[in-house]
Amino acid sequence: MNESFNKFKKKILLEAIIKSVGIAVAVGLLCFTVPYLIVEIKKINVNEFFVLQLIFISYGVMIILFGLLFLILFPRKLKVAKRIDKQLDLKQKVQTMVEYENVDNPMTNYQREDTLKILSNISLKKFAMKFSVFFFVLVSIALALGVTTIVVASIEDTPDGPPIIEQPSYDLDNWTVRALLDLIEVVENSNINKDLKDPVVQNLKSLLISLEVVELESEMKILVNEVINDTSLRLDLTNSNNEVYHELKESGSPLVKELAVQINTLNVSNITNCIENFYVYLAGDPATVKEAIVELDNDFRAIISRSNLNQNEALTAALLKFATEIKNCEDASNVNESLSLVINNNKDSILDIIKIQAENKRIIEYVVSQLKVIFGLNEANSDINNDPDTNKPIINPVEPPKIPEGDNQGGYGTGEELFGSDDIMFDIEKGSVKYGEVISKYYGDLVGMFNDGTLPEDYKEFFDKYFDILFGFIEEEDSE
Amino acid sequence: MENNVSLFSQTIENIKNEIRKDLVGQDDVVENVIIAIIAGGNVLLEGVPGVGKTRLVRSLGKVLNLPFSRIQFTPDLMPSDVTGTNIIQKDENGRMQTVFQEGPIFANLILADEINRATPKTQSAMLEVMQEHKVTVANTTYKMAEPFFVLATENPIEQDGTYPLPEAQMDRFIFKLIMEFPTIEELANIVKMTQITLDETANAVVDGPTILKMRDIAKDVPVVDDVLNYAMHLVAATHPELESANDVAKKYVKYGASPRAGQALITAAKIRALMHGNYNVSYEDIDALAFPVLRHRIKVNYNAINDHLTVEDVIKLLIKENKKQVK
């Protein structure tokens, strides 16, 4: 066959390639888009492996189908001849030429020459490629589904609803670690109840560990709030003052009522006064003392006994013992003396318990307030001064706040004589120390900082005055 | 070969032109008659009186420059009137001897006019000569000169006193051609022509050997398998008794065409292809020749008559079905 025939064959070959590629790609696309859209429309949960599988299957189908179609559509000679005859209405001339290609006969030779002459005179433009409606429909459907898939996928990427605000991240810094470690040390060095101390320390340590992996500020706040809530709850479980208050406030005795109020506030000096007032209230004429004791007994011991209070709990037990012993004074030969003895004996034991609970409260409230300051949870954050260098809140490096005591009492109200220089303060290296023991060192450090230029000279006068005052107090205390 | 093929087309064109001098219109009939002559087949011409059946044959005889005989078939025509007979004749010495007296059949071109008016006995006398181109009389066989061509005519009307041709004899005709009544324009031309002269004015442009040579040339025209297969399926499709028969045949055909129809189709198609300047047979050739080849070979049944379908209508339906099934 000469070029006249081959030019048609090449065009049919191109058509076969276009058809094979078109149908293979279309079917491959359908294999991916149809299941994908079904999954998306029906909201079926699938993993990435499913999509990967779909992609592989689609490519497989595409390649196999292309191969098969190309084999089927490949333009073999006779097929090309029939196609040319049909399309150009050549009345089986080309088919005859091909079938009789190897026949050497004058008539067939003449037929061949004639056909080739006709073919050479036909422009290839007149021989158009033919694509069936099915081809266009299939390709159109595949394209439409492809576009739909892209649109659906893009809608998924930008979901409806309010835009998600990026949450602020959280990164645990050294300052926070240091502040938390200091707080833990304060708790460990405190004299609070061991049943309270251990879990609080443990909670703080766990918080420190947890914060190392926390990435969002919101998560941090949740953790810290959990610790705060748990710590506060543990204080309520450990301290019984509040429960005692609720039971005793119903008493008919003003004396017991006042005691209940003072126990609730954990004010040591007031509680001392209240206990001592028992003697003032009861002592006197032996004839009336007994009557007063009986009356008090109904409003004090009886209430405790009937209450839901755990009578093994230290404070409840101490109060019950106190009330019982007062009742026992009724039968004493010298009621007044017995009362005095009972009151003195029980006052210390009750106050010891109160002091522990007061310390519990003081430390826990300190822990909670410090946690809020450290992690910025305090609503009154604006009142907290920030360090200009670190932009972090300034943690009070001194001792935790004290429980207010009586106006005319000093120290911790234990009866011993205490001075300001005995006040406990927090030291980074030593933890809790009396400030009188370290003030000289602090002053020495400060002078050193002025000397080496770490601190500007402008502040020297201010700090000198400050330390002069402190040293002045210490001198006064020494002289006392 | 190229010269021969060119000569083929040219000769046929010359024949057509000469015949047109004596015959107005009927181009299809003329073409098919020429095909039949080259193919060596006989033709049955059907038409009302006066449409030019006899004139066509007479004109052909002149154009082909071949001896021409006309036999007017009548009910009392005897076979020997056609074939000839032995007669007793004195020789030069006065002795009596039997001599074969050739009948009118001994010519190259035979016009069997109104063939259906003869008795079956006389009609059957035509069988051997039409098929085998030879005549046997008194145990002596006489071969016809080639090319030999019988062109029979019959009148579709005036059926009283006629004898329908038997199927076997019908099958001997390669074509059955229908000569339609001329159009007004053609009719006017016929009248004008005959006002000048009633004699044929066509000239001889070909002779017997040339016809035979053209027959040989046509035999070499290639036919692709698909076309051959298509033609054979068409013939087979006329047989309602075959499993492969289509619905049209089953419904409308009483009996189908013989294998001679297949031979006739292909032989004629080759000549037709060459006549039309093609050097191979096409589906178009088969479709065009299906009507003259099949119309006298198949018989439609009562369903076709009931549905007012002619043989031509049924052939059209068969062609349509065949295209669906084979192409």
Same CATH topology for B2-77+106-213 and B221-326: the answer is: no
- Helix (H), strand (E), coil (C) string for A346-409: HHHHHHHHHHHHHHHHHHHHHHHHHHHHHCCCCCCHHHCCECCCCCCECCCCECCCCCCCCCCC
Q: Which CATH number fits the domain B2-77+106-213, given the four candidates 1.10.10.10, 3.40.50.1460, 3.40.50.300, 3.30.70.980?
A: 3.40.50.300
Percent share of chain B, pLDDT over 90: 18
Interface residues of chain B, partner chain A, Cβ below 8 Å: 1-2, 5, 217, 220-227, 278-284
Residue A399: CB atoms within 10 Å: 17
What pLDDT shows up at residue A406? 44
What pLDDT shows up at residue A399? 52
What pLDDT shows up at residue B230? 92
What pLDDT shows up at residue A418? 64
pLDDT by residue (tens digit) across B52-81? Answer: 787 888 888 888 888 888 888 888 989 888
Burial class (CB in 10 A: 0-12, 13-18, 19+), A471: middle
Structure tokens at A217: 């500020």
Do B221 and A99 lie within an 8 Å CB cutoff? Answer: no
Structure tokens at A406: 């009586």
B13: which DSSP letter?
Answer: H
What pLDDT shows up at residue B175? 92
Question: For residue B109, what are the CA distances in angstroms to A408, A465, B39, B151, B248?
Answer: 164, 157, 14, 8, 38
**Inter-residue contact B4 to B217 (CB < 8 Å):** yes
* Chain B residues lying within 8 Å of A106, measured CB to CB: 1, 220
The amino acid sitting at B188 is A
Question: For residue A404, what are the CA distances in angstroms to A187, A262, A469, B20?
Answer: 20, 12, 24, 145
| Whether pLDDT at B316 is above 50 | yes
Of A96, A99, A117, which to mutate for an interface test with B (greatest number of B Cβ within 10 Å)?
Answer: A96
Q: Tell which residue, A317, A265, A323, has the closest CA to residue A294.
A: A323
**CA of A159 vs chain B CAs: smallest distance (Å):** 57
Q: Measured between CB atoms, which of A91, A106, A114 is closest to B282? A: A91
Question: For residue B124, what are the CA distances in angstroms to A404, B79, B118, B220?
Answer: 152, 8, 10, 34
HSE-up of residue B240 (Cα within 13 Å, Cβ side): 15
- Helix (H), strand (E), coil (C) string for chain A: CCHHHHHHHHHHHHHHHHHHHHHHHHHHHHHHHHHHHHHHHCCCCCCHHHHHHHHHHHHHHHHHHHHHHHHHHCCCHHHHHHHHHHHHCCCCHHHHHHHCCCCCCHHHHHHHHHHHHHHHHCCHHHCCCCCCHHHHHHHHHHHHHHHHHHHHHHHHHCCCCCCCCCCCECCCCHHHHHHHHHHHHHHHHCCCCHHHHHHHHHHHHHHHHHHCCCCEHHHHHHHHHHHHHHHHHHHHHHCCHHHHHHHHCCCCCHHHHHHHHHHHHCCHHHHHHHHHHHHHHHCCCHHHHHHHHHHHHHHCHHHHHHCCCCCCCHHHHHHHHHHHHHHHHHHCCCHHHHHHHHHHHHHHHHHHHHHHHHHHHHHHHHHHHHHHHHCCCCCCHHHCCECCCCCCECCCCECCCCCCCCCCCCCCCCCCCCCHHHCEEEECCCEEEEHHHHHHHHHHHHHHHHHCCCCCHHHHHHHHHHHHHHHHHHHHHHHC
pLDDT by residue (tens digit) across B281-305? Answer: 999 999 999 999 999 999 888 988 8
Rounded Cα gap, residues A351 and A314, in angstroms: 11
So where are chain B's domains? 2-77+106-213, 221-326
Cβ–Cβ pairs < 8 A, chains A and B: 52
**CA of A100 vs chain B CAs: smallest distance (Å):** 8
| Whether pLDDT at B248 is above 70 | yes
Would you say the pTM of this structure is higher than 0.80? no
**Inter-residue contact B84 to B106 (CB < 8 Å):** yes
Q: Tell which residue, B222, B228, B237, has the closest CA to residue B324.
A: B237
Rounded Cα gap, residues A179 and A165, in angstroms: 30
Q: Tell which residue, B266, B158, B284, B146, has the closest CA to residue B218.
A: B266
- The ipTM of this complex is 0.79
**3-class state of residue B43 by DSSP:** strand
Closest residue in B to A110 (Cα–Cα): B2
| Whether pLDDT at B205 is above 60 | yes
Would an 8 Å CB–CB cutoff place A114 in contact with chain B? yes
Radius of gyration of chain B (CA): 21
Structure tokens at B159: 């059926």
Rounded Cα gap, residues B130 and B112, in angstroms: 11
* Chain A residues lying within 8 Å of B221, measured CB to CB: 107
B160: which DSSP letter?
Answer: T
Q: Measured between CB atoms, which of B225, B279, B284 is closest to A111? A: B279
Which one has a higher pLDDT value, B157 or A246? Answer: A246
Average pLDDT over residues B275-280: 88
pLDDT by residue (tens digit) across A341-354? Answer: 888 888 888 988 99
pLDDT along chain A (480 residues), means of 10: 79 88 90 85 77 87 90 86 86 87 84 86 81 87 87 68 68 85 88 87 88 84 89 87 87 85 86 85 79 84 85 87 86 83 87 89 89 76 53 53 45 55 71 76 83 82 84 72
Radius of gyration of chain A (CA): 49
**CA of B256 vs chain A CAs: smallest distance (Å):** 28
Question: For residue A92, what are the CA distances in angstroms to A99, A107, B199?
Answer: 10, 15, 44
Burial class (CB in 10 A: 0-12, 13-18, 19+), A129: exposed
Which one has a higher pLDDT value, A420 or B126? Answer: B126
**Inter-residue contact A118 to A7 (CB < 8 Å):** no
Question: For residue A322, what are the CA distances in angstroms to A248, A274, A288?
Answer: 14, 13, 20
Rounded Cα gap, residues B298 and A438, in angstroms: 137
Q: What class does CATH assign to B221-326? A: mainly alpha
Do B222 and A111 lie within an 8 Å CB cutoff? Answer: yes
Would an 8 Å CB–CB cutoff place A93 in contact with chain B? yes
The label of the residue with tokens 């037709």 reads B272
| Whether pLDDT at B187 is above 70 | yes
Rounded Cα gap, residues B208 and B224, in angstroms: 30
Percent share of chain B, pLDDT over 70: 96
Strands B84-90, B96-102: pairing is antiparallel
Q: Measured between CB atoms, which of B222, B225, B282 is closest to A108? A: B222
Residue B300: CB atoms within 10 Å: 19
Do A92 and B281 lie within an 8 Å CB cutoff? Answer: yes
The label of the residue with tokens 């779909």 reads A54
Rounded Cα gap, residues A107 and B220, in angstroms: 6
What pLDDT shows up at residue A250? 82
Non-local CB neighbours of A288 within 8 Å, separated by 6+ positions: none
What pLDDT shows up at residue A247? 86
Strands B253-255, B299-300: pairing is antiparallel
* Chain B residues lying within 8 Å of A92, measured CB to CB: 224, 226-227, 280-283
Rounded Cα gap, residues B213 and B40, in angstroms: 12
Q: Measured between CB atoms, which of A82, A91, A96 is closest to B222? A: A96
